[in-house]
C-alpha cells in the first residue's frame, strides 16, 4: 500500500491486523526458542480457538469437526499427540 492510495476493505483489515500485531508483539526475542514458543501459541490459538467470520464465527477446528473432516478421537485430544 502506498501513501495516498485508496484502501479497500481487505487492505484496511490487513493494515489494522498488522498494526495490532506489531503493537501487541513489538519486542525483541533474545533466544530462538522463545520466539518459537510465541509463534506456536499464536498458531494454536488461531487454529483451535479463534472464531472466524468466514466460518460462521466458529473456530477452524470446530468447523472441520462439524463438517465430518476430523474423527471424534482427534477432537478429544485436540489433534495433539498423546505421547509426552
pLDDT value of residue 84: 43
| Within-domain flag for 43 | yes
| Within-domain flag for 56 | yes
| Within-domain flag for 31 | yes
| Within-domain flag for 1 | no
pLDDT value of residue 72: 64
| Within-domain flag for 5 | no
**pTM across the whole model:** 0.45
| Within-domain flag for 6 | no
Q: Do residues 59 and 51 lie in contact, with contact meaning Cβ atoms separated by under 8 Å?
A: yes
Reported as a single tens digit per residue, the pLDDT across 27-45 is 666 678 887 888 888 888 8
Domain that holds residue 60: 11-77
Domain count within the chain: 1
Amino acid at each position: 500500500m502506498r501513501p495516498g492510495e485508496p484502501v479497500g476493505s481487505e487492505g484496511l483489515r490487513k493494515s489494522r491486523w498488522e498494526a495490532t500485531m506489531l503493537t501487541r508483539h513489538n519486542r525483541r526475542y533474545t533466544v530462538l526458542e522463545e520466539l518459537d514458543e510465541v509463534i506456536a501459541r499464536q498458531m494454536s490459538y488461531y487454529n483451535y480457538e479463534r472464531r472466524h467470520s468466514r466460518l460462521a464465527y466458529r473456530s477452524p477446528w470446530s468447523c472441520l469437526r462439524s463438517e465430518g473432516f476430523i474423527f471424534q478421537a482427534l477432537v478429544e485430544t485436540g489433534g495433539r499427540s498423546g505421547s509426552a
